[in-house]
Amino acid sequence: MIIRPFLKCLSHQLISFTILAACFAVFLPTTAGADELPPHLVEMESALSHQQLLIGEAQELYAAIDITALQAEVEKRPPMNLALVIDRSGSMRGDRIRQARQAALHVVDSLSDQDRLTLVTYGSDHTVEFDSMATTEENRRQMREVIGRLRAQGGTNLSAGYQAGIDIVAEHHDENAVNRVLLLSDGHANQGITDPAQLRSLSRQAFDDGISTSSIGFGLNYNERLMTGMAVEGSGNYYFVDDSDDLEVLVATEMTGLSATVANRIEVLIKPAPGVEVAEVLGFSHRYRDGAAVVALSELAAGQSRSIVVRLKAVPRHPQSMDILTVRTNYRDAINDRLRFRRQSLSASITEDASAVQRHLDRDVLTRVEEVRLAQAMDEAMEAYASGDRQQAQQVLRRESTRSRQLQQDHDLESDQLQLFGEAFEEAERTVESAPASSAEGRRMRMDSSATTFEAQRSR
């Protein structure tokens, strides 16, 4: 199945930064004199799809903004203030609850005395298995004993368990710490708050209050759009684990990444110049403040990156050149405990020659835009497929596949992700035609694609 290798390829990007951080650390100074600043730990690169614009005409263009945390030796990482929220509904019986216990034990063993952890489980109700406490050796022994007694029963009151985890993390919130809820579910929310929009809103509100959310979908029966949506709104990570995979491996990936944090409290401010409008920020939740679109990110680990694509509308009124936007990234250097920023302004030349506009397109930006557009199209097709409209799903897959092939040919675009998306679209079309969304094959494709498109929209 093409989609699964595609998922593994993209997921490798998520895992690889932790390996690189361990093996190829750059030794950066952790102190600086009064007149000396340490090297930046975050790089920012931004570019426009159009280097030239036609005068007097409304035009659409894109900006690609790449935020990358540099490799660094993390001698003293930020403390962690975590809530582990685990589904213990009846569907988790057997091997799944056993794997969940092992994953929880790995979280406990990954923490040090400076960290805090609470464990909340939920079935028809929720239980605070142990309240937030420092993960000293003595407390870790108690935590392991509690985890060993976890059993599965009841319904899926996801909202009650999730809200309890948020509340406990909030009680011990530290703006310089990693404040995160790690949510695991293997089913649909069927008690408490069940509306996906309301649950996503909970995640967004928690992030606005300084608490991020990572989600893990376990098996083939959970709501993949809900779990990805909560991770997007909560500025965390999203993982899909099927019954043959090792949950502990992905939890280890999450914990290793958090342990390699070099920057947090990250804001990307995208401020358009006069005559320019920010029409859309693709793949990221955002807010508007003082005329700027603001994308808030939780943490970046050494070697980790985020790629933000912005759709713009511009009407050039004057000849020669035009300012398009200013991008500023504010962040806290978690190694040196300093607030830092990077800033860049982008502009385009103005011309009366339409052919010159086409000659001066940025192929790298166009490639990145197309990768995100294909990820969004796959999401659209899978939403139609999940709702039972197989015809609409096929139409989206065929239309976008044809459009993308022509665009790639016209502009000579090429990347590994574009090739993999092309193969994934072809296989998805075959699966949609041959298998209903409720079948094991259909469900697995939907779960695979949710993880694939989540990562493709956020990272190159």
Quote the tokens at residue 284: 């990221």
Beta strands in 2-151 (DSSP E): 42-48, 52-54, 59-69, 80-87, 116-122, 126-134
| pTM, two decimal places | 0.88
Closest CA to 307 of 279, 281, 277: 281
Q: Which of 12-21, 156-165, 166-175, 221-230 has the lowest mean pLDDT?
A: 12-21
Domains of the chain, residue spans:
3-11+363-458, 31-74+262-354, 80-259
Q: Which residues pair with 60 in a beta bridge?
A: 313
CA angle 171, 111, 101 (to 5 degrees): 90
Quote the tokens at residue 384: 């139609």
pLDDT at residue 317, rounded to an integer: 87
The burial of 387, by beta-carbon neighbours within 10 Å (0-12 exposed, 13-18 middle, 19 or more buried), is given as: exposed
List, in order, residues 6 or more apart from 287 with CB less than 8 Å away: 293, 294, 296
Q: Which residues pair with 349 in a beta bridge?
A: 52, 321
- Tell me which fold the domain 31-74+262-354 belongs to: Immunoglobulin-like (2.60.40)
Rounded Cα–Cα distance for residues 83 and 117 (Å): 6
Closest CA to 96 of 248, 198, 322: 248
62-121: pLDDT as tens digits = 999 999 999 877 678 899 999 999 999 999 999 999 999 999 999 999 999 999 999 999
Rounded Cα–Cα distance for residues 95 and 103 (Å): 12
12-59: pLDDT as tens digits = 444 444 434 443 333 343 334 444 678 899 999 999 999 999 999 999
Domain 80-259, CATH 3.20.140.10 — does that match?
no
pLDDT band at 132 (very low <50, low <70, confident <90, very high): very high
Closest CA to 454 of 225, 264, 298, 122: 225
Quickly tell me which residue has 């982008």 as its tokens: 346
